[in-house]
């Protein structure tokens, strides 16, 4: 929701501007106008233009912002992504925060796009994880979708995912799945994490909707897929790297989850060019 994003922007600006932008307050007169372009310094998939625009609007409600390259577009080095014109003070105070959001989200989208390409021609769904930057999950999961992959659950609240400690607390796989299915609300499915073929069998018998194969080798994954045989969705997980994707896809699994989509995507390079504007129009 917009108002949650505004909170993030407010926090980010408060952290950067604090008691004031001392340089700009001293050197740039209050009424001065300017125009700025955010430019890609490398090839990248754009993500986060909306939040970048709101940073400038937040600092100057009169700021005029235009998105020149939409989220999801691939742009070449040198391409202009956003244009903003309005108060010079607003442009200078917002520059770094806008870029910090953009470079991170576009970095995730760009890396995700490359991973998705690895899976072209398959039916496998590439999904993210909860390994996101604290406080930015909604934005980072959005960037994953912009890059062409899918989301896993958004948090602990919108999906049952049973792990070893849950199993231990219930006294077994069957008990855990049955208890969860009997009590959870009727729009949530139940996934269970297993680490052996024996557990795979138990999970299927107990009625799991999704089985997550954790850190198994390809051979075991193949056997698990055979055992499951369409009775549940199959997800593989565990330090998956981009170069593993194609091989994993061939094992017959339905879903591959990959933490590095969000936690290790390199920020891409964008910068802002601002120029003072001889104000032609008269509207103050």
Q: Please choose, from the candidates 96, 91, 95, 89, the residue with its C-alpha nearest in 3D space to the C-alpha of residue 28.
A: 89
Asked if 194 touches a copy of itself (CB under 8 A), the answer is no
Active centre residues (catalytic):
96, 131, 163, 193, 214
Write out the two tokens for 23. Answer: 């340089």
Q: Please choose, from the candidates 239, 204, 184, the residue with its C-alpha nearest in 3D space to the C-alpha of residue 192.
A: 204
Asked if 5 touches a copy of itself (CB under 8 A), the answer is no
Give the whole-angstrom CA distance, residue 193 versus residue 142: 25
Looking at the DSSP bridge assignments, the partners of residue 38 are 82, 272
Give the whole-angstrom CA distance, residue 95 versus residue 33: 15
- Residue from 70, 169, 172, 241 touching a copy of itself (CB under 8 A): that is 169
CA 80 to chain centre: 23
Which residue is listed with tokens 């994993």? 248
- Geometric angle at alpha carbon 144, from 138 and 148, rounded to 5°: 140
Minimum gap (Å) between residue 3 Cβ and a copy of itself: 6
Asked if 266 touches a copy of itself (CB under 8 A), the answer is yes
Which 222-241 positions form the footprint of a copy of itself (CB under 8 A)? 233, 235, 239
Element containing residue 222 per DSSP (H, E): helix 218-228
Which 46-85 positions form the footprint of a copy of itself (CB under 8 A)? 58-59
Sketch the per residue contact string, 136 through 165, with a copy of itself: x for CB under 8 A, - otherwise. xxx-----------xxxxxxxxxxxxxx-x
Minimum gap (Å) between residue 263 Cβ and a copy of itself: 4
Per DSSP, the three-state class of 257 is strand
Asked if 255 touches a copy of itself (CB under 8 A), the answer is yes
Is the C-alpha dihedral spanning 149, 55, 88, 13 positive or negative? Answer: negative
- Residue from 114, 131, 222, 223 touching a copy of itself (CB under 8 A): that is 131
Minimum gap (Å) between residue 58 Cβ and a copy of itself: 7
Sketch the per residue contact string, 9 through 48, with a copy of itself: x for CB under 8 A, - otherwise. xxxxxxxxxxxxxxxx-xxxx--x-x------x-------
Minimum gap (Å) between residue 57 Cβ and a copy of itself: 12
- Residue from 196, 205, 229, 264 touching a copy of itself (CB under 8 A): that is 264
Asked if 174 touches a copy of itself (CB under 8 A), the answer is no
- Residue from 183, 280, 282, 283 touching a copy of itself (CB under 8 A): that is 183
> Residue 200: CA atoms inside 13 Å, Cβ hemisphere, count?
24
């Amino acid at each position: 929701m917009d108002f949650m994003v505004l909170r993030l922007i407010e926090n980010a600006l408060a952290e950067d501007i604090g008691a004031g932008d001392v340089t700009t307050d001293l050197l740039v007169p209050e009424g001065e106008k300017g125009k700025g372009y955010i430019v890609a310094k490398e090839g990248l998939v754009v993500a986060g233009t909306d939040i970048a625009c709101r940073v400038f609007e937040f600092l100057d409600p009169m700021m005029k912002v235009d998105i020149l390259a939409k989220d999801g577009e691939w742009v070449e080095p040198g391409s202009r992504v956003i244009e903003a014109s309005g108060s010079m003070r607003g442009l200078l105070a917002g520059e770094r925060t806008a870029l910090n959001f953009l470079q991170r989200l576009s970095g995730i989208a760009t890396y995700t796009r490359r991973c998705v390409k690895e899976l072209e021609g398959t039916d496998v769904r590439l999904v993210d994880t909860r390994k996101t930057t604290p406080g930015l999950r909604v934005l980072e999961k959005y960037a994953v979708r912009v890059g062409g992959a899918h989301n896993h659950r958004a948090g602990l609240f919108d999906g049952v995912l049973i792990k070893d400690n849950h199993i231990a607390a219930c006294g077994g796989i069957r008990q855990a799945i049955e208890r969860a299915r009997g009590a959870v609300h009727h729009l949530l499915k139940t996934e269970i994490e297993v680490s052996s073929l024996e557990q795979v069998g138990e999970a299927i018998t107990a009625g799991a909707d999704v089985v997550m194969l954790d850190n198994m080798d390809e051979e075991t994954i193949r056997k698990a897929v055979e055992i499951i045989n369409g009775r549940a969705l199959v997800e593989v997980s565990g330090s998956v790297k981009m170069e593993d994707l194609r091989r994993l896809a061939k094992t017959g699994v339905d879903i591959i989850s990959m933490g590095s989509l969000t936690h290790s995507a390199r920020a891409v390079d964008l910068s802002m060019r601002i120029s003072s504007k001889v104000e032609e129009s008269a509207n103050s």
